[in-house]
């Protein structure tokens, strides 16, 4: 079979798809990954064939993200959903994705909910499609609700005579979210069909040695606000607050600012802090005792899978608030609000997750649950059945 995986340019969006795509390829099927041209460096290490499409206009993206700090969380989420995922990304991607689907004619399209071009192209070509979750079940509903208008516009532009929001809502779902962390009322979706769950296995990539800084015997705290926040340059206050917070806690902290961030712009940082553009997150989780993050799916689930309690400060997208609330409700960490006074809130929250046993115990319980989920090869057949 020919299977096309479609993703936007976010590592947290792509990471849950990689083990499924590899498992399908290892089962002898032809697999390709439609992703932005700029995402090639992240697709290449997977060994999967990259089918690039155009990136959204960086100036237009910067304008959207530059306006977010002045908006409420609800307004910021709606802006990102409709303008970035609903308009800028798919308009740039659709020409190449449409040509690929029409020419290669995949038997199945597997997409993540923020990637709309492959949904439009699949519907236009009559190709079945399924969805890999990048968050909790309520996030999938949020995507459909927020993107109903943009999907109607995309359908009209592509000549697709079908309700794409309804098509997205009806997609079978494959998810690496463990049942107790998911936030639906039961295990079934709106159509009564339960999601197929699997676990993302460890990569097995050797961990590079950490640089020397601070007290080597001090507990390690990892700080990351993902790749999008760093790239936009409008969330510098969050990084500054995190550095200020950990400077007064008896830990050593590794802060990553993303490929577009400049570690030297934070120099000189406190003695117990070290700043890098990037570090293999999975390798860090093995040694970290806590994490400060923004609630992105990739970092949140990596911490959960490693049993690492976390402090979550949502910044700009609905899944970040959803994940933060869920982490706090299950006591796998503490959720705090961004804005003035963030450093003080982060410091109090970090000390809590470091010293109150309930947070580590809850995080470890979720890690144990995730470890019991089946590996990707076990769900290849259920996945491919939707393309037959």
- If one compares 256 and 261, the residue with the highest pLDDT of the two is 256
- The count of domains in the chain is 2
pLDDT at 219: 96
pLDDT tens digits, one per residue of 260-313: 777 887 778 999 999 998 888 888 898 999 999 999 888 899 999 999 999 999
In a domain, 205, yes or no: no
pLDDT at 191 over 70: no
Are 347 and 224 in the same domain? yes
Structural element, H or E, at residue 223:
strand 220-224
Assess contact for 321 and 301: CB atoms under 8 A: no
Q: Residue 77 — very low, low, confident or very high, per pLDDT cuts 50/70/90? A: confident
Cβ neighbours of 365 (radius 10 Å): 17
pLDDT at 230: 64
String of DSSP letters for 265-319: GGPSPPTTEEEES---HHHHHTTEEEEEE---HHHHHHHHHHT--EEE---S-HH
pLDDT at 185: 44
In a domain, 75, yes or no: yes
pLDDT at 209: 87
Are 315 and 377 in the same domain? no
pLDDT tens digits, one per residue of 196-219: 999 988 877 777 888 899 999 999
pLDDT at 51: 98
In a domain, 204, yes or no: no
Are 17 and 99 in the same domain? yes
Q: Which region among 70-79, 107-116, 310-319 has the lowest average model confidence (pLDDT)?
A: 70-79
pLDDT tens digits, one per residue of 150-161: 999 999 999 999
pLDDT at 203: 74
In a domain, 157, yes or no: yes
Question: What is the CATH classification number for the domain harbouring 28?
Answer: 3.40.50.2000
Are 349 and 267 in the same domain? yes
Alpha-helical (H) ranges within the chain are: 11-14, 18-26, 40-43, 58-66, 73-79, 89-104, 117-125, 137-158, 164-169, 226-232, 236-247, 281-285, 297-306, 318-329, 342-355, 357-371, 380-384
Assess contact for 121 and 53: CB atoms under 8 A: no
Are 135 and 101 in the same domain? yes
Are 265 and 120 in the same domain? no
pLDDT at 102 over 70: yes
pLDDT at 186: 43
Assess contact for 52 and 28: CB atoms under 8 A: no
Q: Exposure of 78 by Cβ count < 10 A (0-12 exposed, 13-18 middle, 19+ buried)?
A: middle
The CA-based dihedral angle spanning residues 131, 259, 322, 193, taken in that order and rounded to the nearest 10 degrees: 10
Are 15 and 36 in the same domain? yes
Angle, CA of 156, 160 and 161, to the nearest 5° = 95
Q: pTM for the complete prediction?
A: 0.87
pLDDT at 187: 47
In a domain, 213, yes or no: no
Q: Which residues contact 306 (CB under 8 A, 6 or more apart)?
A: 282, 285, 286, 288, 367
pLDDT at 233 over 70: no
Are 33 and 182 in the same domain? yes
Arithmetic mean of pLDDT, 34-55? 96
Are 230 and 141 in the same domain? no
Are 169 and 49 in the same domain? yes
Domain region containing 34: 2-199+373-387
In a domain, 211, yes or no: no
Are 39 and 95 in the same domain? yes
- If one compares 149 and 204, the residue with the highest pLDDT of the two is 149
Are 188 and 48 in the same domain? yes
pLDDT at 231: 62
pLDDT at 138 over 60: yes
Q: How many residues does the chain have?
A: 388
pLDDT tens digits, one per residue of 319-374: 899 999 999 999 999 999 998 999 999 999 999 999 999 999 999 999 999 999 99
pLDDT at 19: 95
pLDDT at 319: 86
- If one compares 384 and 235, the residue with the highest pLDDT of the two is 384
pLDDT at 226 over 90: no
Identify which of 20, 232, 225 has the alpha carbon closest to the alpha carbon of residue 112. 20
pLDDT at 188 over 60: no
pLDDT at 371: 95
């Amino acid at each position: 079979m020919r299977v096309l995986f479609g993703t936007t340019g976010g590592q947290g969006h792509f990471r849950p798809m990689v083990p499924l795509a590899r498992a399908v390829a290892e089962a002898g099927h032809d697999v390709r990954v439609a992703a932005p041209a700029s995402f090639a460096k992240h697709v290449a290490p997977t060994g999967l064939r990259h089918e690039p499409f155009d990136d959204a206009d960086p100036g237009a993206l910067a304008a959207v993200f530059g306006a977010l700090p002045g908006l409420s969380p609800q307004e910021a989420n709606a802006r990102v959903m409709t303008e970035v995922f609903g308009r800028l990304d798919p308009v740039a991607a659709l020409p190449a994705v449409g040509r690929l689907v029409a020419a290669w004619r995949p038997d199945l399209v597997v997409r993540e909910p923020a990637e709309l071009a492959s949904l439009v192209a699949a519907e236009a070509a009559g190709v079945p499609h399924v969805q890999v979750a990048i968050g909790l079940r309520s996030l999938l509903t949020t995507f459909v609700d927020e993107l109903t208008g943009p999907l109607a516009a995309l359908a009209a532009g592509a000549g697709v005579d079908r309700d794409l929001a309804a098509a997205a809502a009806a997609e079978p779902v494959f998810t690496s979210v463990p049942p107790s962390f998911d936030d639906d009322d039961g295990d079934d979706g709106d159509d009564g069909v339960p999601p197929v769950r699997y676990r993302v296995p460890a990569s097995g990539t050797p961990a590079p040695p950490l640089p020397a800084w601070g007290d080597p015997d001090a507990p390690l705290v990892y700080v990351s606000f993902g790749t999008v926040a760093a790239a936009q340059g409008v969330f510098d206050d969050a990084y500054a607050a995190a550095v200020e917070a950990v400077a007064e806690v008896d830990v050593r902290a590794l802060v990553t600012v993303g490929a577009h961030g400049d570690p030297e712009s934070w120099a000189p940082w406190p003695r117990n802090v070290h700043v890098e553009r990037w570090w293999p997150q999975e390798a860090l989780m093995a040694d970290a005792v806590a994490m400060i993050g923004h609630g992105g799916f990739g970092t949140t689930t990596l911490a959960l899978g490693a049993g690492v309690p976390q402090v979550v400060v949502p910044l700009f997208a609905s899944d970040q608030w959803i994940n933060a609330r869920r982490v706090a409700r299950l006591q796998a960490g503490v959720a705090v609000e961004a804005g003035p006074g963030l450093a003080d809130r982060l410091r109090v929250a970090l000390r809590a997750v470091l010293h109150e046993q309930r947070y580590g115990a809850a995080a470890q319980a979720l890690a144990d649950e995730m470890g019991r989920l089946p590996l990707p090869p076990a769900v290849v057949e259920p996945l491919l059945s939707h393309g037959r």
